[in-house]
Amino acid sequence: QLPDWLAPKPMEIDTLLFNTACYFDVVDKLIVINNLLGINSNSLFKEKNDIKKAINDRYFNLNSFTYSNDKQGITVFLANLGIVEEKYKENVNKSIRKHYEDLDYHLDTGIIITPILMEYLSVNDMKDVAWKIMSQVDYPSFAYMLKDETTFPEHWSKFWISYSRGEGDEIVMGDDVSHCHPMFSAIIAWMIKYVIGIDLSNKNIDFENIKPLFSDYINNFKLSYNGKTIIYSKDKGVQVK
């Protein structure tokens, strides 16, 4: 019954929309699996297109080029799945950019959509937006979350936001969150892949030719990986020792 989880504010994403989008994603993955196994996917292609059409017919706003209430990253989530019609993609991306400009580049997403958002921005000519989001220091941001912490905590806030269990009018007040939790640690994978430029899905990493996507914004970095030390600086590029 949940869409995303642990956004800065209580979830406002339409649960039916979110779950239908996940259904679309499952069908899309089944098509990939069938192709690998040599199984005909004609019925699945039809099912996938029917789901896509149903979502666009019901939830796409042609005036704003957003989906549903455009809150907590739902438009990004659908765009990343490939649900946006090709002819609207440019305008949808402009709307995504504006959404985070209006939030002064603060995050409004939960554990599922946050890493999707950062990757989508990075590969869709909005790396400047991604960098500004990662550079924020006040709430809600990663810097605020990690202030005075030694590990990733559970939530953007130091305390649970007040919420309802959906059982009558009872409101559960915010208690202390876990201060060692994996909920938002997926951002580390994004940093390795895009900030540093190492794709860990590739077994044969060419360390000599890694290309940091955010080289316009960083002067240097140093990391150790699998017995190697990778040093990057603007003037010397990448060095591997």
Tell me the pLDDT tens digit for each residue of 145-196. Answer: 999 999 999 889 877 766 655 555 555 556 678 889 888 999 999 998 999 8
**What kind and span of H or E run contains 224?**
strand 220-225
Beta strands 220-225 and 66-67, pairing class: unpaired
CA distance linking residue 174 with residue 155, whole number of Å: 11
- What are 56-83's pLDDT values in tens digits? 999 999 999 999 999 999 999 999 999 9
Amino acid at 43: S
Nearest-5° angle of CA 180, CA 186, CA 189? 125
Q: What is the pTM of this model?
A: 0.90
Main-chain dihedrals φ then ψ at residue 58, nearest 5 degrees: -90, -35
Higher pLDDT residue, 218 or 127? 127
Q: Where are the alpha helices (DSSP H) in 136-206?
A: 142-146, 187-190
Sign of the CA dihedral with 135 first, then 138, 142, and 146 last? positive
Tokens for 179? 């201060």
Residue 171 confidence (pLDDT):
52
CA distance linking residue 17 with residue 240, whole number of Å: 47
